[in-house]
């Protein structure tokens, strides 16, 4: 007999009783389990010959990075075009001061840049209305969901107040 291996398995009492009932035809329990294992393994789909090669990954990563950069450049160009289209409407509001006060405050725009979803999330507009691109939402820092732009502005205000108090 070729080299063989012993294997110990643990069965629940119910499963053991079912196995004993099948083994009453004179076959030992080990032979039944061995045959069941052989049947199971023959029904399995073929495994891949080798795991995915990692030597071609840098090229794919570079291609994906280039594609992402192109998408960001395209988004910046579209944002610039939208801003250019919206620019002629602003002088009309400046000519009529009453119309400017009647309009609701427009959200200020931050440049659209990719963000790390493990550190940031999009949420409702902050009180200072810092919008992330054209999403109508504010970029918020996890875990406390604080707007980074508001945080920078508040820090600048505190520093300015501290400088003025020192004078």
CB-based contacts of 4-10 (< 8 A; 24+ apart in sequence): 9/33
Q: Which residues have C-beta within 8 Å of that of residue 105, sequence separation ≥ 6?
A: 129
Chain position carrying tokens 């950069």:
69
Per-residue pLDDT of the chain (167 residues; tens, 9 = 90+): 578 888 888 888 888 888 777 765 677 777 878 888 888 888 877 765 555 555 556 666 666 777 777 788 888 888 888 877 776 554 454 555 555 555 556 655 555 667 788 888 888 999 998 888 888 888 898 888 889 999 999 999 999 999 999 88
Which residue has tokens 């020192």?
A: 166
Task: Point out which residues pair with 140 in neighbouring strands.
Answer: 121
Decide: pTM greater than 0.75. Answer: no
Q: How far is CA 118 from CA 63, 122, 141, 142, in A?
A: 23, 12, 9, 8
Residue in the block written with tokens 């075009």: 81
Residue 4 in tokens:
């063989």
């Amino acid at each position: 007999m070729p080299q063989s291996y012993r294997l110990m398995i643990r069965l629940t009492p119910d499963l053991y009783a079912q196995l004993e009932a099948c083994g009453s035809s004179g076959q030992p329990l080990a032979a039944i389990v061995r045959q069941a294992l052989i049947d199971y393994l023959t029904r399995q789909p073929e495994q891949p010959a080798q795991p995915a090669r990692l030597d071609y990954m840098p090229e794919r990563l570079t291609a994906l990075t280039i594609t992402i950069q192109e998408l960001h450049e395209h988004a910046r160009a579209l944002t610039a075009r939208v801003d250019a289209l919206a620019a002629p409407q602003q002088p009309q509001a400046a000519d009529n001061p009453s119309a400017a006060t009647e309009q609701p405050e427009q959200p200020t725009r931050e440049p659209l840049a990719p963000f790390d979803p493990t550190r940031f999330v999009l949420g409702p507009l902050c009180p200072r209305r810092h919008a992330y691109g054209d999403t109508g939402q504010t970029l918020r820092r996890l875990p406390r969901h604080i707007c980074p732009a508001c945080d920078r502005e508040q820090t600048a205000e505190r520093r300015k107040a501290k400088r003025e108090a020192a004078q």
